[in-house]
Structure formats: structure tokens, C-alpha cells
Amino acid sequence: MEVMLATPKSNEPLIELRGVAKSYVEAGHRRNILDRVDLTVRAGEIVVLLGRSGSGKSTLLNLIGGLDAADQGEVRIAGRSINRMRDRERTLYRRREVGFVFQFFNLVPTLTVLENVLLPSDLDGRAHQARWDLARDLLQAVGLADRANSFPDRLSGGEQQRVAIARALVADPSLVLADEPTGNLDLATGRRVIELLDRLTRQAGKTLLMATHGREVVGVADRIISIEAGQLVEHQGEAVH
């Protein structure tokens, strides 16, 4: 089964949320995280999501990435509704159309750096020679070509996150979702990782949504959106405090 999403042209909508709501039950009480929110992100945009811990940033990324389902409303990617995808279609969507970068790297300790980068292609049965070549090119781009045969425990935190960025891009996804990518790094290392993520996604024409509770990443954003009391607040062209 193939998941074929039309590739939007630059400035056309890639992500569309309409009336999306999500809540969770905690300690016997229902907590509203997102309250019927709307959002449009165009192809090639870099959008930073700001908000305190627990505000709903990760929830929003999980809905867009097909890791979770909305209670109501619709999430559309390149004109196709994630809500209406079957489980297998949603799995293929995540593998082929979305690159994930997590706070804690999520590298497999028993795999080498190169094998970790290739993992999404292996899982999808598409680790052919072109993918191997791309994986090596990406390791070169993130400055780790000489560490291809090393294991994650031999790398610093910043190096592991650079591997994770290469892994997120190896399937040539249209969308990259980064959830607190600097949250486990010191400030200087975090800034270098953000600059790298910004440069690689822009060069490849990817759309990037990056969630953070810090303000140090806002300089790379085309748009800044905060999550406040379950609502999305646009800060484009405004100071963010």
C-alpha cells in the first residue's frame, strides 16, 4: 500500500488544522489541551511553537505527525485527511512523509551511527544503495562522516542530535517535526544544532515545525506561534516575551 501525498508548491498549504480539539484524562479529570484550533502552514515554512511545559506543543506535533488522533476537527496534510487514513496508511505516512527529531535523540544503542540514520529506510524496506549514499551524504552534512561506524554511546549529546537530524531527513520527507530538539543540550550546543537544522531543512525545501519552551530558537523562524490556554496565538512580526 502506497501513501501518495501531492507535493504542494512553495507558498501552498502543506498543513491544515480545522477545529482541532484534544483532551486527556488525568487523575480522573479531563484536561483540555487544544480547544478547537485552526492552523495553516505553507510548504517550505519554518514555524516555531512556543509554550510552557504541558501547554500542548508535543500534542500538536503528535497530531500532525499521525502519532495521535484528534478528539474532533480535521488534520490535513497536502490536502489529505490524516483522520481518514487506515492504520497502515498512517504508518506509511509517518515513515515516508515525516521526519521526527526528539529531545532525547532516540538512537538505538546497538546500531552504529550509519545504521541509525538508515533505520527509517530499513523499517520501510527501502534501504537500497541510493539510501545508503544519501545517509552518508547526510552524515557528511552534519559533520559526522568520520563517525559512521561509531556507536551512540561514544558520541556527545550534540553529536547524537546531529545523527538524529540526519535520520529525520534520510527518507526525504516533506515535513520535519522537532520536539524540544535542544532540551537536552547546553545552550551553545543547542544553538549549533538549531543552526544546522535550519540550514539543512531550508536547503532541502522542507517544512519544519519546531516545539520549544525556550526563546533562543525564534531567530530561525518564519513564523512564531505560542500555545496559550488551549489556543494558538500568532506572533509573526511581533516581539515575543
Range of the domain at 185: 43-69+87-234
Scanning the structure block, which residue is given the C-alpha cell 546531529?
162
Least trusted range by pLDDT, from 37-41, 52-56, 221-225? 52-56
Please indicate, yes or no, if residue 75 is contained in any of the structural domains.
no
Q: Could you tell me if residue 194 is inside a domain?
A: yes
Q: Which of 19-33, 106-120, 208-222 has the lowest average pLDDT?
A: 208-222
Q: How does 175-201 read in b/e, with b if 16+ C-beta sit within 10 Å?
A: bbbbbbbbbbbeeebbbebbebbbebb
Whether 106 is in a domain gets the answer: yes
Tell me whether residue 21 is in a domain: no
What average pLDDT does this structure show over 177-201?
90
The CA distance from 229 to 226, in Å, is 10
Residue 17 falls inside a structural domain: no
Whole-number CA gyration radius for the chain: 18
Q: Which range is most confident: 100-104, 147-151, 200-204?
A: 147-151
- Among 55, 126, 68, 66, smallest CA distance to 90 is for 66
Residue 94, pLDDT > 60, answer yes
Instruction: Please report whether residue 147 resides in a domain.
Output: yes
- The pTM of the full predicted model, rounded to 2 decimals, is 0.88
- The CATH number covering residue 213 comes to 3.40.50.300
Q: H helices within the chain, ranges in order?
A: 57-64, 87-97, 113-123, 129-141, 157-169, 187-203
pLDDT in tens, 123-169: 766 657 788 889 999 999 999 999 999 999 999 999 999 999 999 99
Q: Is residue 22 situated within a structural domain? A: no
Q: Integer distance in angstroms from the first to the last C-alpha of the chain?
A: 46
Share above pLDDT 90 across residues of the chain, in percent, rounded to a whole number: 63
Looking at residue 6, what is its pLDDT? 47
Give the total number of structural domains in the chain. 1
**Residues near 146 by Cβ (< 8 Å), separated by ≥ 6?**
none
Is 150 part of a structural domain of the chain? yes
Please give the Cα distance from 144 to 221 (Å, whole number): 26
